[in-house]
Structure 1
């Protein structure tokens, strides 16, 4: 399967600019899941900017009705 990096970048909300995985969703997801995290695209903008991508943070946001 061919990566659609340019197309993915149009909807990527990751604010960590030096990330080499930006737009390469399969690599991003593999990286974050290996660290018990979710990628930026799972979070609303204000939560993404905290760089807390943990499962626990995501669960708190779900409980608060913010995701």
Structure 2
């Protein structure tokens, strides 16, 4: 079953990974990243997201620096 919100979600998705199969499928994206001790792209500023370091540690670092 396709997500009924996929098009709306795509407008807000900042994932820069070209072949990501989860773009616009927020539930699948969140489950995937949490399983890998990461957060999805939408939790990071664009410049940090492009590094593909979506770890909890990177997120905490950005919070401590006041960047998020």
TM bracket, shorter-chain basis:
over 0.9
Partners in 1 of 2:51 and 2:19 — Cα distance? 16
Q: CA offset at residue 47 of structure 1?
A: 0.6
**Runs of 4 or more consecutive aligned structure 1 residues displaced over 6 Å after TM superposition:** none
TM-score (norm 2): 0.94
- Unaligned stretches of 5+ residues in structure 2: none
Q: Is it true that 1:18 corresponds to 2:22 in the alignment?
A: no
Find the counterpart in structure 1 of residue 47 from structure 2.
46
- Unaligned stretches of 5+ residues in structure 1: none
Let me know the Cα RMSD of the aligned residues: 1.0
**SS in structure 1 of the partner of residue 9 of structure 2:** helix
Q: CA offset at residue 24 of structure 1?
A: 0.1
Find the counterpart in structure 2 of residue 57 from structure 1.
58
TM-score (norm 1): 0.95
Task: Give aligned pairs, total.
Answer: 66
